[in-house]
């Protein structure tokens, strides 16, 4: 049965990038203010807050972020809970909020995510991010996230013939889409030749195959059907949600060309919505590395296994293609402040569905899928959203 009562009525993000001199709490407050006061949703209407942050302890020496951030955003006193699921922290916060509204516990809630990553060196950020892998079997003996996704890339290359050029084309598309997104970290197009420049991070992944280290925050307001019309004429309904987990470490996986939690979470979300991949007008997927986008489009059933790279080559996933993927630029070019990412993905889906994505508007925009995963794909959340009047 589709979810019936959860609507996004406002959505906002800060600029993503290296935001020098801007603190975690300042970014959070800015995103929340844009999604509430500036969007015509009084902060007094919010009854609870669900907040995604991943590793603020290691990046800015700050734990217990939910009450702190909410207080700084001028909403002291509300029930506020932090959700941590590595790079899927934002989407797990969103899912908890969905369940709170569907249960009838609250009418109107805030979902927000934030991360401040650039205050430490790349080495330190890499070490902190590695906490999302299995310390005994992986990160503790030196495996980093570029390394994890390099392993997946090699498996995909061997199994399906995917090439470094295919992955580079994902980066070219991401930078092209981000070039017209003023909130993106990289607002410049790159050529295929540049994307293929061999500054290897973890072979076969090069600099432009990686999402960057970023600062940023994003926020949403969710309400019940009854309240939604108070705030907007174009609510976006969340009609399906799925979450699944998988083994933390890759050595317990039998398949490295697919992430089983993505497959499971998407099937749950499709079943709940009563829809399938062919009903989706566009997709927002977790492209922390270019190979991750190719695999995600296959895991979500948008393309057959092994066909994701061909879809990129043939322009199917471009902004004007039959199945646009990451139309605002994705994690790859917009940035990946880890705790904010899952919330920002919902911001993108919302803006596209209501037709307010400007130069990044996809042509068909009734129904969409968003996919956010954490670590080695050990947590995955998939949501299916549809404009309420579609």
Give residues in contact with ligand COA (CB under 6 A): 87, 122, 126, 129, 145-146, 201, 207-208, 210-213, 288, 336
CB contact at 8 A, 312 and 160: no
Give me the catalytic one of 87, 210, 288, 380: 87
Measured in degrees and rounded to the nearest 5, phi and psi for residue 282 equal: -160, 170
CA distance 296 to 308: 8
Shortest Cβ 117–ligand COA spacing (Å): 8
CB contact at 8 A, 213 and 194: no
Shortest Cβ 208–ligand COA spacing (Å): 5
Nearer to ligand COA, 4 or 188 (CB): 188
> What's the DSSP call for residue 358?
G
Nearer to ligand COA, 212 or 321 (CB): 212
Of 13, 86, 69, whose CA–CA distance to 286 is shortest?
86
288 is catalytic: no
CA distance 34 to 335: 19
**CA dist 275 to 241, 267, 304, Å?**
12, 10, 17
Task: Give the other-Cβ count within 10 Å of 199's Cβ.
Answer: 7
Nearer to ligand COA, 308 or 374 (CB): 374
Token output for 370: 């968003």
Q: What angle do CA 234, 237, 242 make, to 5 degrees?
A: 155
Nearer to ligand COA, 168 or 210 (CB): 210
Shortest Cβ 320–ligand COA spacing (Å): 24
Nearer to ligand COA, 99 or 207 (CB): 207
CB contact at 8 A, 277 and 305: no
Shortest Cβ 175–ligand COA spacing (Å): 8
Nearer to ligand COA, 213 or 246 (CB): 213
CB contact at 8 A, 32 and 112: yes
Give me the catalytic one of 83, 336, 365, 371: 336
In the complex, which residue's CB is closest to ligand COA?
Answer: 122
CA distance 76 to 117: 25
Alpha-carbon 233 to chain mean position: 26
CA distance 343 to 370: 10
Shortest Cβ 322–ligand COA spacing (Å): 27
210 is catalytic: no
Strand pairing class (48-52; 379-387): unpaired
Shortest Cβ 330–ligand COA spacing (Å): 11
Active site residues: 87, 336
């Amino acid at each position: 049965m589709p979810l019936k009562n959860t609507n996004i009525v406002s959505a906002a993000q800060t600029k993503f990038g290296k935001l020098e001199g801007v603190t975690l709490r300042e970014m959070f407050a800015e995103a929340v203010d844009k999604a509430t006061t500036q969007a015509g949703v009084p902060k007094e209407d919010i009854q609870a807050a669900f907040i995604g942050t991943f590793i603020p302890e290691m990046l800015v020496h700050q734990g217990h972020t939910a009450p702190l951030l909410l207080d700084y955003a001028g909403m002291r006193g509300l029930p506020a809970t932090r959700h941590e699921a590595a790079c899927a922290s934002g989407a797990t916060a969103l899912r908890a909020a969905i369940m709170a509204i569907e249960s009838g516990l609250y009418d109107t809630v805030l979902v927000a995510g934030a991360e401040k990553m650039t205050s430490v060196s790349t080495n330190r950020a890499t070490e902190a991010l590695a906490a999302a892998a299995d310390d005994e079997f992986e990160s503790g003996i030196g495996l980093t996230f570029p390394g994890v996704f390099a392993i997946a890339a090699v498996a995909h290359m061997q199994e399906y013939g995917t090439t470094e050029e295919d992955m580079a084309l994902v980066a070219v598309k991401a930078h092209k889409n981000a070039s017209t997104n003023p909130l993106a970290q990289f607002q410049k197009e790159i050529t295929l030749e540049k994307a293929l420049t061999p500054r290897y991070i973890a072979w076969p992944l090069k600099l432009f195959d990686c999402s960057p280290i970023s600062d940023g925050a994003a926020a949403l307001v969710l309400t019940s059907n009854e309240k939604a019309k108070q705030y907007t004429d174009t609510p976006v309904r969340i009609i399906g949600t799925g979450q699944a987990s998988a083994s933390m470490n890759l050595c317990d996986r039998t398949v490295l060309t697919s992430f089983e939690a993505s497959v499971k979470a998407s099937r749950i979300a499709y079943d709940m919505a009563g829809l399938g991949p062919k009903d989706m007008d566009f997709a927002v997927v977790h492209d922390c590395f270019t190979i991750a986008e190719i695999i995600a489009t296959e895991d979500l059933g948008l393309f057959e296994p092994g066909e994701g790279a061909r879809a990129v080559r043939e322009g199917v996933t471009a902004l004007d293609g039959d199945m646009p993927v990451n139309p605002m630029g994705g994690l790859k070019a917009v940035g990946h402040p880890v705790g904010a990412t899952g919330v920002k993905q919902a911001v993108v889906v919302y803006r596209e569905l209501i037709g307010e994505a400007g130069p990044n508007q996809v042509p068909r925009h009734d129904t969409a899928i968003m996919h956010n995963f954490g670590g080695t794909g050990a947590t995955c959340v998939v949501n299916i959203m549809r404009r309420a009047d579609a």
